[in-house]
């Protein structure tokens, strides 16, 4: 999508339109593709952008609990941890979480855990595509009831002739 600046701008415009009327203090993007979407949305909304990165990638950071990506299954070589700068989030900051894709929900849940641990209120989680068949939203609801996920693109368009790509 970033190879087509007109289409990319249209996507950013949709996110901005959706979130311009909500009370948001900060935009948090997940490592690393959330870093592509988050900054242009944050700039358009005139809000600070906060990076949520894998452990060891940020100085002076708070780390969250270890999490596993369920789709790695037997190939998993250990869990990951996410971190955020100690000074990026203030208690009661209203944060919009951005990522490219929500699949099983592991990374998103870990990000919400971390943000809530540092005192943030999560306004919503936004993504380009939510793969609903993997029930990431349901798993997020179990851990963080009331935190919604909004996807720009329906997974229906990722299918050809009824066969999932």
pLDDT one-digit tens code per residue, 144-154? 999 999 999 97
Query: Has this prediction a pTM greater than 0.75?
Result: yes
Q: How far apart are CA 59 and CA 73, in angstroms?
A: 31
Q: What distance, in Å, lies between the first and last C-alpha atoms of the chain? A: 18
**CATH, range 5-152:** 3.40.50.2020
Three-state DSSP at 42 gives helix
Domain edges within the chain: 5-152
Cα Rg of the chain, angstroms = 16
| Tens digit of each residue's pLDDT (9 = 90 or more) over 88-102 | 999 999 999 999 999
Quick one: CA torsion of 136, 138, 144, 149, rounded to 10 degrees? 60
| Tens digit of each residue's pLDDT (9 = 90 or more) over 74-130 | 455 568 899 999 999 999 999 999 999 999 999 999 999 999 999 999 999 999 999
| Tens digit of each residue's pLDDT (9 = 90 or more) over 14-67 | 999 999 999 999 999 999 999 999 999 999 999 999 999 999 999 999 999 788
């Amino acid at each position: 999508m970033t190879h087509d600046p007109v289409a990319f701008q249209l996507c950013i415009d949709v996110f901005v339109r959706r979130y311009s009327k909500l009370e948001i203090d900060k935009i948090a993007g997940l490592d690393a593709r959330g870093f592509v979407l988050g900054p242009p949305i944050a700039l358009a909304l005139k809000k600070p952008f906060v990076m949520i990165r894998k452990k060891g990638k940020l100085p002076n950071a708070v780390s969250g609990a270890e999490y596993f990506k369920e789709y790695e299954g037997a190939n998993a070589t250990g869990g990951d941890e996410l971190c955020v700068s100690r000074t990026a989030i203030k208690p009661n900051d209203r944060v919009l979480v951005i990522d490219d894709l929500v699949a099983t929900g592991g990374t998103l849940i870990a990000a919400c855990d971390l943000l809530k641990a540092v005192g943030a209120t999560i306004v919503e989680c936004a993504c380009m595509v939510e793969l609903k068949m993997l029930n990431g939203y349901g798993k997020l609801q179990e851990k963080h009831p009331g935190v919604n996920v909004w996807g720009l693109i329906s997974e229906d368009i990722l299918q050809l002739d009824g066969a999932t790509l």
